[in-house]
Structure 1
Amino acid sequence: MNRPCDIVVDIGCDHGYLGLTLLKNHDVNLVINIDKKSEPLQSAIKNLTKYNLKKQTINLINDGLNDLNLKMKIDYVVIAGLGAQNIIKILKKKQANNIKYFLFQPEGNLVVLRRWLFENNYEILNEGIIKVDEHFYVVILCNENKNYQKAVYGLDDLYLGPILKFWPKNLVFREWVINQVSKYEKITEKCQSEKNLSILRVYYNFLKDETNQN
């Protein structure tokens, strides 16, 4: 995230911790918190009021970006902690065309989200991965570009990521790949389909390249 920025929209803001952190660190001028439930949004407002930051926010009950046509230019729309299908559903219903960047942290189904982005004019600009309490979190930065469509993408783009696949020396990502190998080895023990074997080869080749570069 380029800091400081002007406006950040947090979809599914829960208790508003993201916006609160950004405002406390002076990384953003205005945060728009959106949640489809009243209770978490009220919790966000309570937390913001505690730090005298509510005036720098707009807090809305809404289902994602559905029927929401914000007139102002948005620097980032953040969707974190939702499943890939829910993120895709939100993007399909989006009306606003004044969004510069999207920042996603999907809960599972990375392949599904990446494939949809590739095929619907979203360009993945950067990716990252962190590990917290034995859980891995992948973050995807992208923008919507009507002139862009990744017509050709491989299994490595889907299962490693178009950016992360070039991170052979990143220890966190390497650990994640090793976990994926273990997962797909167990799957192929039960079902040795060509697809599962091809996915395993993607992970094996990545780890092999990492070893060769050390």
Structure 2
Amino acid sequence: MSDAGSTPWNKFYKADLWNGCFFPEGFWYEDLGIVPVIIAKAKKIVNINEPLYIYETSRGGSQTNQVQANKFLDVKYMLDNVYNCIVELGLFEESKAQLKTLYMEHLVYVTILEKTTKVKDKKTKKYLIEEIRKGMDSKFPGWEADNFSTGNFVTKRLKNLVISLYLNRMFILGDILWKAPKKIKYKLTGF
């Protein structure tokens, strides 16, 4: 569920997996709100290692490239939808670890590192961090002790350090540690 990605366009599905399942409306990240449920319902998953589709992520109008802090917490609502659907389907116990990883990856790592670090207003950052913390605490008490981050050793350590700084409202230090290496890399490589 958590390692298959939440995009619907990079998968083939049996039609009956979608029975009774719908994309939540009125939110960003609606793919995240249902695709993990479909994956959890699947009895057999096969990986095809061929690029059959190209998706352009550098479009200016893409949600990925927009900073709209009022939409960032839509991730929480989508994850909660997945959580509730998994519980209703009776798949919670077998999916608990993957649900936690899904929440960590999308609500903690992506929302903090890729979204909240771009917010300039300190009050808005505090609000986002508190909502992220409340969301995680309500579903996975003790979650802060876990490190689920991906990447090499240095990248993992950096991600976890910046997350910790943000959770403790040390935004300036977190921003310096997170943004400075990216600026240096961009100056050196142009990417």
Whether TM-score is above 0.5 comes out as no
Q: Greater share of strand residues, 1 or 2?
A: 1
Which structure carries more relative contact order (alpha carbon 8 Å, separation 6+)?
2
TM-score by length of 1: 0.30
Name the TM-score, length of structure 2 as normaliser: 0.32
